[in-house]
């Protein structure tokens, strides 16, 4: 199926489902929907970082600190987190990702449609050899926190992932 045709739950400012729409329409019209962000670390504590492919509907060819994606219509955040993590990493048998928190991501795009989605943030440890989806991931590596920090100012990152990263840092600092 073409990703633009995937049906999503469209939600209000309180994360309540109000209707459904194809992903392509939700993006084009700036309709609020649901997404999951999963921070993946390996057995050595290194962070999975990747560059998205140029064919992605949103934020093509940018670097990302999370795996994840949209929550399908009728799917729970928890179900989507495990599905997206296994799909993007190219693994099966991953432990259930641990839910951390949810936030509303909003920005204004150049075309005026804007982006808005409820974002559930998770973490998971992956000790399995990864084989990321070629249609999703152009490049990947497990990097130390120091290596990630050094690249934050150098590489072009997906803005929603940066927002999730900042919120995750604050969440951990408070907790």
61-102 pLDDT tens trace? 999 999 999 999 999 999 999 999 999 999 999 999 999 999
DSSP 8-state class, residue 60: T
Nearest by Cα to 141 from 82, 89, 84? 89
**124 vs 115 pLDDT, higher one:** 124
pLDDT band of 110, cuts 50, 70, 90: low
The band of 136, judged by pLDDT with boundaries at 50, 70 and 90, is confident
The upper half-sphere exposure of residue 25, i.e. CA atoms within 13 Å in the direction of its Cβ, equals 10
Of 23, 28, 69, 76, the C-alpha closest to 50 is 69
Query: pTM of the entire structure?
Result: 0.93
Alpha-carbon separation of residue 5 from 58, 60, 101 (angstroms): 14, 18, 28
């Amino acid at each position: 199926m073409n990703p633009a045709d995937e049906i999503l739950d469209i939600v209000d400012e309180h994360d309540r489902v109000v209707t459904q729409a194809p992903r392509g329409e939700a993006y084009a019209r700036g309709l609020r929907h649901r997404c999951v962000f999963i921070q993946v670390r390996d057995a050595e504590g290194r962070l999975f970082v990747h560059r998205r492919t140029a064919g992605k509907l949103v934020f093509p060819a940018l670097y990302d600190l999370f795996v994840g994606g949209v929550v399908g219509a009728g799917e729970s955040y928890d179900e989507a987190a495990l599905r997206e993590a296994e799909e993007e990493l190219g693994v099966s048998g991953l432990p259930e990702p641990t839910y951390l928190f949810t936030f509303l991501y909003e920005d204004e795009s150049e075309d005026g449609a804007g982006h808005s989605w409820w974002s559930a943030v998770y973490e998971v440890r992956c000790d399995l050899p990864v084989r990321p989806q070629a249609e999703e991931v152009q490049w990947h590596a497990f990097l130390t926190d120091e290596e990630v920090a050094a690249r934050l100012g150098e590489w072009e990152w997906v803005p929603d992932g940066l927002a999730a990263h900042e919120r995750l840092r604050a969440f951990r600092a408070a907790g």
